[in-house]
Amino acid sequence: MSQKINGVKGMNDLLPGEIEIWQFVESTARTLFGRFGYGEVRTPMVEDTALFVRSVGEETDIVGKEMYTFEDKGGRSLSLRPEGTAPAARAYIEHSVNNQEPVSRWFYMGPMFRYERMKTGRYRQFSQIGAEAYGAKEPAQDAELMDVVVQFLEALGLTDVTLNINSLGDDNCRPAYHAKLVEYLNAHKEELCADCQQRLERNPLRVLDCKNEKCQAVAAAGPNVLEFLCEPCRAHFTDLQRKLGVLGIRYVVNHRLVRGLDYYTRTVFEFIASHPALGTASTVGGGGRYDKMMKGLGGPDVPAVGFAMGLDRLVLLLKESGKTFAQRPDLFIAVADEGSQDEGLKLASRLRREGLKVDFDTRGGSLKSQMKRADKSGARFTLVLGEQERTTGQAKLKPMAGGEPVPVALDSVAATVRAQPEAPAPAPAC
């Protein structure tokens, strides 16, 4: 017997019964982002490795440890995208979008890839929903993006999420903070984990990202980046907080928040859920301002700000909500005899053309077994088609949640089903 082939570890299948939650999140995102004027973009899953080295940062864990990188047949180094901001920026530059419009607002959704230790809500193929705004340097644009996320979470019914914000300053004020941080961390080097001791040499800000409790305790007592902000950065952060107040958005200032990527300047933010289902992977989304990236990638000197949300984590939270996302059939068609099988197939096809969600078991079988399948399907109504119904052109719609059958002409089934009041879905049969 041939050996069974399993899926790649950390890359999950999505099957009916679960995929409906993903579709709900995706459709909600498209609707909500569209209200804010964000248009969808789709970039390739594979990019030149140099794109991520130059944007995300060579010393980050993503580039240094987690990317899926390979050499193609032409000898080029390519990588599966580990995040969505850099590919979107590359597309913006490559297509000279800045010459077409002064401000561009995009959103994207799709799979990303990182080879990292797996746990709840953290996988090697994961999906993100993100948005980017190019051309506006004002705090109002930062606030608008956070408003997008707040309204998106509300539309999903996820309310127990806290917004954390911080400012990392810019090239004028960050060097002074960086020097003070290095001085402090060096004084506490022996208290840091092995990874953070290496980060201290390569990229000290990453120490503030560490989830090790001892490293977190060291970071908590370290210098506060907000005390080093220059006047323009301080004014930007102050105005951002004022605008969040105008929008009625609650937030927490977290001076240890740095995010895990090198391209951020000034504003950074995260949305953190407190639900135990996520374990330690409690950040459901985050982002910030990256005003220097576009020029650093060979493009125009255009300011930008964006965010990404982990779709896998949002789905985990929605699963815990107990809500039902699957769309149940409007109608289950059962056939009472073999002679009605073709007519049942034909009726199902016509009603689907007319917009009904129709379940029809092509295997046929006894009427009793078909009615069991109708119960299990959760359909609103069942129509039994037999010789009498075919001859008279009349049938009955049986409400599966209980109630009296509804007489119906076979040529007006769709209209009759739509006219019936919606009833609660019946409990699935065991």
Q: What is the pLDDT of residues 201-238, one digit of tens each?
A: 878 888 887 878 888 898 888 899 999 999 999 999 99
C-alpha span between 233 and 266 (Å, rounded)? 7
Q: Is the pLDDT of residue 158 over 50?
A: yes
Residue with the larger pLDDT of the pair 348 and 425: 348
pLDDT for 109: 96
One domain for residues 185 and 311: no
Question: Which residue reads 């990229």 in tokens?
Answer: 203
Token pair, residue 38, equals: 């964000």
Tell whether residue 84 is among the known ligand binding residues: yes
The answer to whether 134 is annotated as binding is no
> Does one domain contain both 152 and 276?
yes
Banded pLDDT at 331 (limits 50, 70, 90): very high
Tell me if 114 is assigned to a ligand binding site: yes
The one-letter amino acid at 67 = M
Residue 426 predicted with pLDDT over 70: no
pLDDT over threshold 50, residue 428: no
59 annotated to bind ligand: no
Instruction: Please state the φ and ψ torsions of residue 402, each to the nearest 5 degrees.
Output: 105, 155
234 known ligand binder = no
Mean pLDDT, range 115-125, rounded to an integer: 81
pLDDT digits (tens, 9 = 90+) for 332-374: 999 999 999 999 999 999 999 999 999 999 998 999 999 999 9
Global pTM value = 0.87
Same domain, 273 and 297: yes
One domain, residues 258 and 210: no
Whether 59 shows a pLDDT value over 80: the answer reads no
Question: pLDDT for 223-280, tens place per residue?
Answer: 999 999 999 999 999 999 999 999 999 999 999 898 766 678 999 999 998 877 676 5
**Is 6 a domain residue?**
no
- For residues 360 and 407, state if they share a domain: yes
| CB count in 10 Å sphere of residue 88 | 23
What is the mean predicted confidence (pLDDT) over 104-130? 90
Domain boundary among 164, 194, 228: 228
Domain end residue (candidates: 165, 198, 228): 228
Q: What is the CATH number of the domain that holds 252?
A: 3.30.930.10
Closest by CA position to 18, among listed 359, 314, 315: 315
In tens, the pLDDT along 282-320 reads 889 999 999 999 999 999 999 999 999 999 999 999 988
Q: What is the mean pLDDT of residues 24-48?
A: 96
Residue 401: CATH number of its domain: 3.40.50.800
pLDDT recorded at residue 34? 96
Do residues 165 and 202 share a domain? no
Q: What is the total residue count of the chain? A: 430
Tokens of 105: 């607002």
326 domain residue, yes or no: no
Over the stretch 68-90, which tens digit does the pLDDT of each residue have? 999 999 999 999 999 999 999 99
> Does residue 183 sit in the same domain as residue 160?
no
Residue 345 falls within a domain, yes or no? yes
Distance CA(256)–CA(368), nearest Å, equals 64
Is residue 235 in a domain?
no
Based on the structure, what is the number of domains in the chain?
A: 3
Task: State which of 320, 345, 368 marks the end of a domain.
Answer: 320
Give bridge partners of residue 78 from the DSSP assignment: 48, 70
Q: What is the pLDDT of residue 76?
A: 95
Q: Which residues pair with 409 in a beta bridge?
A: 394
pLDDT score of 422 more than 90:
no
Co-location of 121 and 37 in the same domain: yes
Domain assignment of residue 194, yes or no: yes
Mean pLDDT of 122-148: 95
Instruction: Verify that 255 and 202 share a domain, yes or no.
Output: no
Contacts of 237 (CB under 8 A, 6+ apart): 139, 167, 226, 229, 266, 267
> For residue range 162-203, what is the model confidence (pLDDT) as tens digits?
999 999 999 999 999 989 999 999 998 888 898 888 888 878
- Is 128 annotated as ligand-binding? yes
Chain CA centroid to CA 273, Å = 14
The pLDDT value given to residue 424: 56
Q: Is residue 236 part of a domain?
A: no
The reply, when asked if residue 343 is annotated as ligand binding, is no
Query: Do 163 and 152 contact (CB within 8 A), yes or no?
Result: no
In a domain, 9, yes or no: no
Task: Domain of residue 194: give its range.
Answer: 176-228
Residues 341 and 381 in one domain: yes
The answer to the question of residue 37 being in a domain is yes
Average pLDDT over residues 137-149: 97
Using CA atoms of 35, 315, 10, 52 in order, give the dihedral in degrees to the nearest 10: 20
Q: Are residues 27 and 160 in the same domain?
A: yes
pLDDT band at 281 (very low <50, low <70, confident <90, very high): low
pLDDT of the residue at 261: 66
My answer on whether 38 and 145 are in the same domain is yes
Residue 251 counted as an annotated binding residue: no
Please say whether the beta carbons of 384 and 336 come within 8 A. yes
Indicate whether 430 pLDDT > 50: no
394 known member of a binding site:
no
Per the rule left: phi > 0, alpha: psi between -120 and 50, beta: everything else, 9 is: beta
Q: Got the DSSP string for 247-292?
A: TT---EE-TT---S-TT--SEEEEEEE--GGGTT--EEEEEEE-TT
